[in-house]
Amino acid sequence: MIQLNTESKLAFVAFILIFLVTIQYFFHKNQQFSDKSLSIDTNDFHVDHIIPINSPSIDEIDHKIPIKSPSIDKIDFHNDHKTPIKSPSIDKKQVNFNQINQINPIDPFPYNFLHIIGNPDGTITRLQEFFPTIPPSGSNNFDSLSLSLSKDVLLDREKNIWVRIYLPRNAINNSKNLRKLPIVIFVHGGGFILYSAASPLFHFFCAELTGQLGALVISVEYRLAPENRLPAAYDDVLDALRWVKEGKDDWVKNYGNFSRCVLVGQSAGGNIVYNVMLRVVDLVNDLRPLTIVGMVLIQPAFGGPNRTGSELRAVNDPVTPLVVGDLMWYLALPVGADRSHEFCDPTIGGGSEKLGRVKEMGLWVGVVGCDGDPLIDRQVQFVEMLKRREVVVRSLFTKGGFHNVFLVDPIEKSGLMAYMENIFSEFR
């Protein structure tokens, strides 16, 4: 019988928890909708290829929103849209999806979906049984099956900002032949309002990323909204960069290559990374000797003042229903801001004026997405905007999938790791 080590068992438990949360709403209602999935030639998908998505106007889609249906036993997350998926059903008669900046803050559905409770003072209570955390592996954990070691370091006690640092095991084993490792700053997702650097989903992803890339990975615990609305998360990640450049931690000082730092963010973390990058271009001297060379945005969370076709197709998406995304933006953006705000829509006004500096400095941007993600149209528009501004872009868009697929699907995760290895080699 195969014996699993503690970390492997935790990884298995984490995967099961994530899978259950993903499918728990598949049985929400039995209402059926017609299946009108995107039809795209699989041969058209490769690195740096943008999916052509025709996003009909809101008026054209208003009563023709295609949602996937049948039974749960037929679900296959690798089906490339061949098997429809049953989604939680929302009554369109009760929701005006065209009014993107209007939200009912007391609608119980998105709160229940996210396992949170809205409080009278504007904060939220996160039901902890749905948001488990796990400790780092510890610097003295010499389990030979683990590819990395990890530890937590407190940066700001008052704000509770800390980082979890991951080091490849072979770096310790080969300490006599010390080779400096690229530094990856990782920022987790969660709609700006949920999760932690210690959440199993992100912990195991970073541990795997460390082993696959042979990098020193630093995952940032930032403040969450609505208690700390944007730009608080941007500030926290920037403060983490300043801490890294000081080299006070032994792992960072002894193993990190300060001339080769890459920012990586997933979902809301992708949004955070992009906005931090726009600040970094004005702080080059302040951050030396730490040098940011590029960033990878994995299914970044962007929005805008008008609905896109992929968002309208996702009214009853099983992972990120439309009203859930609406609530996250409502809770995350500065009070009084709508989705034309630059924190939400990076393409507004043709993009930030600081993209000129990004181009001049030769900073590259990697963008990863899939056409099953409600955010895909935003991500494609973002890539197109960067190319118009002559920023170096390396994009990877795949067929099928769903939001968070690159974290939980082994095949898609493997493709992501290969993509990141290639992009790291290209810009070595």
Please list the active-site residues: 267, 373, 403
Element (H, E) at 365: strand 364-370
- What is the 8-class DSSP label of residue 5? P
Whether 274 and 343 have beta carbons less than 8 Å apart is answered as: no
Helices (H) and strands (E) in the chain, counts: 15, 10
**Phi, psi at residue 150, to the nearest 5°?**
-150, 155
**Six token digits for residue 241:** 């960069």
DSSP state of 92: G
Angle at 406 between CA 400 and CA 411, to 5 degrees: 75
What gap in Å lies between CA 209 and CA 203, rounded to an integer? 10
How far apart CA 113 and CA 104 sit, in angstroms, is: 15
CA 257 to CA 164: how far, in whole Å?
18
Beta-bridge mates of residue 47? 396
Q: What is the rounded CA–CA span in Å between residue 403 and residue 320?
A: 7
Cα 131 to the center of its chain, rounded Å: 17
Q: Distance between CA atoms of 119 and 59, rounded to whole angstroms? A: 36
Q: What does each C-alpha distance from 402 to 18, 190, 376, 397, 398 come to in angstroms?
A: 13, 15, 10, 12, 10
9: number of Cβ within 10 Å = 11
If you write DSSP's letter for every residue of 228-279 in order, what string do you get?
T-TTHHHHHHHHHHHHHHHT-SHHHHHHEEEEEEEEEEETHHHHHHHHHHHH
* Euclidean distance between CA atoms 56 and 65, whole angstroms: 11
What residue type is assigned to position 159 of the chain?
Answer: K
Bridge partners, residue 385, by sequence: none
